[in-house]
Structures are given as C-alpha cells and as structure tokens.
A and B are shown apart, each in its own frame.
Chain A
Amino acid sequence: MNKLKRRKFLQYSTAIAAGSIVGSIPSIAFGSNFPSRKMQAYIPTRAGGGADRNFRAFSGVWSKHLGIKFEPKFYPGASGRVGYETYMDKASDDCHDLIFGNMGPEVLNWVVKKPTFDLNAYKYFIQVDADPGSIFISTKSKMKTVEDVIAEGKKRTLTVATSRLAHPASLGILVLAQKTGMKINLIPLSGGKNTRNGVLTGETDLGVLPSTTVMKRKGLNVIGLFDEKNVLKKKMPNAILVNTEYKLGLPPLPAGARAFGIKTSAIEKHPERYKKLINSAKKVFTDEAYKKAVVKSKAPLEFISEGYEKECKAYVENITKVGQEYRSLLSG
C-alpha cells in the first residue's frame, strides 16, 4: 500500500506554506527587463479542467526558460466568452498577459456570435496540443460501430451529447450526419463531465468530445475519430477515421487545440519581448521535463503539437471557414 510518511506529509505541508509566502512576493527577473513581473494567463474555463492541466504542464517548464512564474486566472462562462472579453478588456499589452484557450470551440463561438472586440486584436501564437474529436458510445449501447450509428440514425433521430453546440466535435458529427443522411439531435450538456455522464447514464444515444477526455473512461467506447490518423490505436482500438472513411471533406480540425494567445498591440509595441516568448517556448518542446509533466497530467504524449503563429493562423482560418459553412447547424 502506497502510504505517505508523516515526515513527508509535514515536508510537503511546509513546502506549500513556504511556497505560498514566496509566491506572494513579487518575482524579479534578473538579466533582462522582460519579464519584469509575473506572467499572467487568462484561462476562459474552470480551474481543474483539461485546459488547467495542459496549462500547468506547459507553463511549469516554460517558466524555467523564461525565468519567471506564470499565474493562471480563471474566467469561465458562456463558452469562453467571459474569459476572452475580460482578457481584451483588462489585460495589459506589455507581453506579460496572455490568454490560454482552446482554439477550436472558441473560434467557432465567434463564428456563431461575434464578440464585442475586434477579432484581429489578438492572435494565437503557441499551440501546445492537438486532440482529435471523437464519437463515443456507452459499452451498454446496442450500437457498436459508426456504421451501426449511421444505420440507426437513418431509422430514427439519435440524440448526441456534446459539450456545446459550437464545438469542433459537434461540427464533425453534423457534417457526418449531413453526408450520410442520418438524423441527429445535438444536446449541449456544458462541459466534458456532463457530456460523458449523458452517454453513460443512457440519456443520449452517443456523444462527441475531444478523445483524451473519453478514451480511458470505463463504460465508454470510442468508435470514431474526426482525424486522418489514429495515433493512439492501443487506447482507441475500435476508432475508425471518420473523415477519410466517409469522405467528409473536412481538414484535420482537432477538437482540442489549446494555444496561448496574445494581444496584437502587445506584439506591435514589444516585438523583442514577443520573440523572447516564442524562443523560450520552443525550448519547452525539447525539454524532457515537459514530456514528464505531460505524462504526469495524464495527457498522451502523442497529442503534443508544437505550433506557432503560422500553424495557429492556419487552424483558425480552417475552422472559421468550415464553421461559417455550417453556421446554421451550429447555432441549433
């Protein structure tokens, strides 16, 4: 039995207490005037979720290369709208304040309903992962494959649990339904946990979510991926590649594509700082400590996706284009 020794417990408690005190003292960066204060990351989802885990894994190592700590600030609500609006309204444009979001659902959100700020006023510049959208069913379901799902969907309208309507995974199943003629009814259940529960408890026929949140869950079976390859065949042996199998004509649009964003005015004002951010982030991807942190966060190493401004821009353009094409379906 793995027991924690009393002494170790006291050590950890003391370390945490000491950490809290030290953490409250403003950080000082030596050797450079940037960063001159703690980096702040606005996260438009709740603490403890997938974005939080991804952020901690990356920023923990990034802080080593940047020479300063990162502080997350969580602003959940309205599919990320609260976090982004707050970031655009309150964050400074001195390159110390970043946003860490999931590009897919958040950009689709803007397609469905424009935010109050100019969409060119921020840009994503460091992508950290690419997690394909998945179709999953309960292991108790009579349907076992995507083919079964389509056949059943031609007989009756299937209920499909999703985190939110404007989500790359929702987009995938909508396109599949349109191409194959099956009838579906998307049920937005606000978040991965509720979406999984919807399928597990049998309230909905199937569900769609980024694959990481589903693949290891007892009672759930991933039967399809909206991607062109299954890099985790061992963990999702039953998942077929829906994009190619059904010729959906969709570009690879990971449902989980988390990335850091920054105000464009910050880049314009401080190009050197921006460069420093990118250069230090590049070191994270080659650092073994990052891989260890990802493994510790229980995310698959295979989903690490190193991307910068160019890759992020391509993703945003692709998803905006597909989103606009299916806008009426995404808005219910």
Chain B
Amino acid sequence: MENDLEIFFSLINNTLEYWWVIIPATILGIVVGAIPGFSAANTIIVLLPLTLSMGPEAGMIFMVAIYTSSRLGAGIPAVLVNIPGTAGAAATPLDGYPMSKRGEGQKALSISFTSSVLGGLLTTILALILIPWLSQVAYYLHSVEMIVIMLFGISLIATISSQDTLKGLIAGLFGLMIGYIGADVVYEIPRGTFGFLELYDKVPLVPALVGLFAISEAFVVIDRKMVTIQSQEKNIVHSWQQTFNGIKITLIRWKHVIWTSILGLIIGVIPGAGAAIASFVAYQQSKNFSKTPELYGTGHPEGLIAPESSNNGVTSGTLIPLLIIGVPGGATAAIMAVVLEYHGVQFGPDIFETNPMLGYGPFVAMGITYIILGFLIMPLTRYFSNVLLIPTKYIAPLIIVFTLVGSFVPRAYVFDIYVAIVFGIIGYIARKTGYHVAAILIGVILGPMLENFFLRALRISQGDLTTLFSSSLGNTLWILLIISLFVPSLKKYFSKQK
C-alpha cells in the first residue's frame, strides 16, 4: 500500500513536470472544443508532427490534455448559442440553451463546467482503480448488446416527443432515414445519395449538427426581427453569484453527477460507442428517474448535468481498452494509438508494470487537466456568457459564418457547407412547425451506428433474427430497456394512485 502510494505520488510529480505541455494543450483544447467542426481528433491529427516529435510520455500527456479540455469546451457554444460543436455535446443544449435564453447563461455554464470537471475527475479516479475489470467490458459487448445500447439512446426520441408524440416520432424517423443515406456497411452499395459522391460515406455529422441546431436557430432569430436576445438583456445579470449558484446546484446533485458519469465511463470503454451515445443515454435515463421529468427541456439543471457528466466520463473510459488490449474506445483514442505505436509502445496489461508513466500516466494527466480546467475556466463563465449580450443583428450572421466554416473543416468539402445550409432549412421548418430538431439529430447520429451493428449481427448469425435474443447480457439489457421505457408511465400511474 505504501509502495502504491509512493508510485502514485511519483506519477503525479512526473506528470506535473510536464506543466509546459499541459497548460497550452488545455487552453488549445478549450478553444478547439468551442469551435464547431473542430474536435480533439482532428486537432491531434493536424498537430501530429509536433506530437510525434515529443517523447511518448509528453506526447500522450499533450493529447490527453487536448482531448479532456476540448470535451469541456464543446459545452460552451452548446449552452450559449445552441450549437453543439461535436456529437458528444448534442444533448447539452436541450436544457443548457433554455437556461441561457432566460438570462441564466453564466449559471448554465457554471453547471456545465462543474459537472464536467467533477464527472471527469471522478471517472478518472475510478478508471485508475478499476482498470483490470473495466478493460474486460469490450470482450462481453458484441453487436447484439450494442444494438440494445443504441436503442437506449434512440429511445430518447420518445422522451423528447412526450409533449407531441406523433411529431416527435415523425422527426425521429425522419432523422433515422437521413442516417441511412450512404453506402451500406456490408456490400458498400450507395443508397439515397442522389448521385452525390460526398454522401457515399454517410451524411457528414458536423454539417448536420450545426445546420439543425445553429443555422436554424440563426434563421429563427432573424425571423423574429432581431428582437429575441435584446428583449432578454434585462434578464441577464452578471455576477459571480451566478457562477457560485451553478457550482452549488451541481454539488447538491452530486448523486446525479456520480451515476451519469459512471454511465459515461462504462459506455466509453465500449469500442464504437462514445460520447454521443453516452450523453443521449444519460439524458434519457436521467429524465426517466427524475422526480421532475416535466421540467426537462425547459432549462432544468439535471438535464444539463447528465450529458456533461457522462460525456466527460467517456474520456477516461475510452483509454482503458486501448492501453490494455490495444482496442481504442473511440476516434481520438485510435489516433493516440498511432502516436504510441510510432514510439514503439506495446499495449497490454504489463504496460502498467513495465512503463507506469504510460500506463497510469494518461489518467493522472487527465485528472490534473481537470483540476487545472476547474480553476482556469470557472472565472471565465462571467465573460463567456457576454456572448448573449451581443446584438442579434451581429450574432445571427456570426453564427452562420462560424458554423459554415466549421462544417467545412472536418472533410474540407465545399459540399458540406451546402449540407449545413440544407439542414439549417430543415431545422428551421421543424422549429416553425413544432417538430423537435434534437429528435431528428438523434436519428442522424445513432441511426447509422444502429444499422452497422444490426447488419453485423445479422451477418454473423446468417440472417437469424433470434440472434438479437441469443446472449444473456443482451437479454438483460433488453429487459432494462423495456423497464426504462415503461418507468415514466409507471411513475405517472403510481403518482395518480397516491
């Protein structure tokens, strides 16, 4: 025990020696996270020559710090201007943006940051303790189990559409239909691409994301004759009190932070899952088990805590299978694998003994980054929220320009700018006619993933549909899914009985 503590403190000491890597990477991560279209993965790719020139420890710490802080940074535009820059932040505006709209942007940011930092820190510590067990999760979750996990996320469509079920389901199905555009995963036959080569590799996610949320929002703002934000200015109060309130609100809901971040950690461990599915599942389950589900979607703190805690829980989870079995949990972890392999690092359980700085080091670096983030970003909530005071005649064109640039960045296709505009128009029509854009987006994001696992499961079972119920773990998940779908109705029934 004494020896373990000695190693642990020596790791912290070693990691802190890289402060000159952690601090710039943290700042860079916040910036790229906050810009729609940029992400940790493509930033690390762009900076690959720099990362490769570092030693493996410095390189890993650099990548981990960017990854961690960009996840937190992605919450900023999602909360303030309804732009989830990455799919992992797609559930954040559901309650974050309504808070900003009623003049509580600073508080919303504070909640978002506190839950991100606490969720991230907690899961990093848990990951360190539970590494041997968590690394085995990937061995048990195959296509069949993944189908049920995807359905957990997709069932959020039903939750979102609780106010108008028909419209919600139409929006969700429309999103799923869009998600199936592109070449199928088995035979690579293009479907619904209208002859556009650019759609063979599925509908690009970032343009769809910014189009549905940001551009449509800008259209709505313009449509309201540029009065929306000005009319709210009187509601916006800038004081440190708002920041402290946000921290307090989150700390009071500590249980919520704990279980949603653990959910993120577990989903992060599963290869092919990731922050998007984690945040949707966490939001949906959070609402299911909430005492005040009717407040979700109106700017409810729990609706903001759930996706932010869970998507930060994913960050540590995604590294576990990479380090132990060489299976990256997500895209960013896959790029980290390339860098580490370049340095000749061999993955495996013995990495923790042969090279503790590379085995445990990333988690220690992640923990330190979260602590730095906590101190660095909290004071900024007051200034970030000033975005809401920018007159709408400026902010609407700014949103459009920034998001169009952001939609171009991931693939550098001009076509993607048109995709963002088309989705902006779809989002605008949806908003004007009472359809929920988030329901469409869930279909677009999770539809292809569901199809992928479904076709794979069918292919493995040679077309036998009963394969969906062929594993004990899968069946347990099916039962949990059904229970979670009926929880709201059961709760309503029992509350009426009382």
Contact = CB atoms under 8 A, between A and B. Distances in A.
A201 B56 contact: no
Interface string A172-196: 0000000000000101111001101
B494 interface: no
Contacts of A188: 185-186, 459
B139 A201 contact: yes
A160 to B, nearest CB: 10
A79 interface: yes
B302 interface: no
A332 B186 contact: yes
B20 A3 contact: no
A196 B188 CA distance: 20
Q: How large is the interface on A (under 10, 10 to 19, 20 to 34, 35 or more residues)?
A: 35 or more
B431 interface: no
B55 A76 contact: no
A216 B335 CA distance: 17
A219 interface: yes
Contact of A298 (B186, B271, B325, B341): B341
A202 B139 contact: yes
B327 A85 contact: no
Interface stretch (A8-16, A128-136, A145-153, A254-262): A8-16
A197 B327 contact: yes
Contact of A81 (B49, B56, B139, B188): B188
A263 B288 CA distance: 59
A272 to B, nearest CB: 32
Interface stretch (B172-180, B215-223, B342-350, B378-386): B342-350
The 6 closest A-B pairs by CB, nearest first: A77-B201, A2-B55, A78-B200, A78-B183, A77-B200, A218-B348
A59 B326 CA distance: 29
5 contacts: A13-B50, A48-B338, A77-B182, A79-B188, A217-B326
A82 interface: yes
Given A9-B20, A78-B188, A200-B326, A3 B57 contact: yes
Contacts of A217: 326
B460 interface: yes
A112 to B, nearest CB: 8
Contacts of B201: 76-78, 82
Interface string A61-86: 00000000000010011110110011
Contacts of A77: 182-183, 197, 200-201
A264 interface: no
B327 A2 contact: no
Contacts of A244: none
Nearest to B146: A203
B334 A193 contact: yes
A279 interface: no
Nearest to A140: B139
B143 interface: yes
Contact of A203 (B54, B57, B143, B412): B143
Which of A76, A86, A187, A201 has its CB near the most chain B CB atoms (within 10 A)? A201
A204 B456 CA distance: 11
Interface in B140-154: 142-143
Contacts of B326: 196, 200, 217-219
Contacts of B346: 216, 218
Given A48-B335, A77-B200, A203-B460, A3 B55 contact: yes
Contacts of B182: 77
B29 interface: no
A296 B339 CA distance: 12
Contact of B325 (A79, A89, A157, A219): A219
A85 B195 CA distance: 12
B58 interface: yes
B263 to A, nearest CB: 21
Contacts of B342: 296, 298
A159 interface: yes
Interface string B118-147: 000000000000000000001100110000
Given A82-B197, A159-B460, A218-B325, 14 more contacts: A1-B57, A3-B17, A3-B55, A47-B45, A79-B188, A81-B197, A157-B462, A164-B188, A187-B456, A188-B185, A188-B459, A196-B327, A201-B271, A219-B326
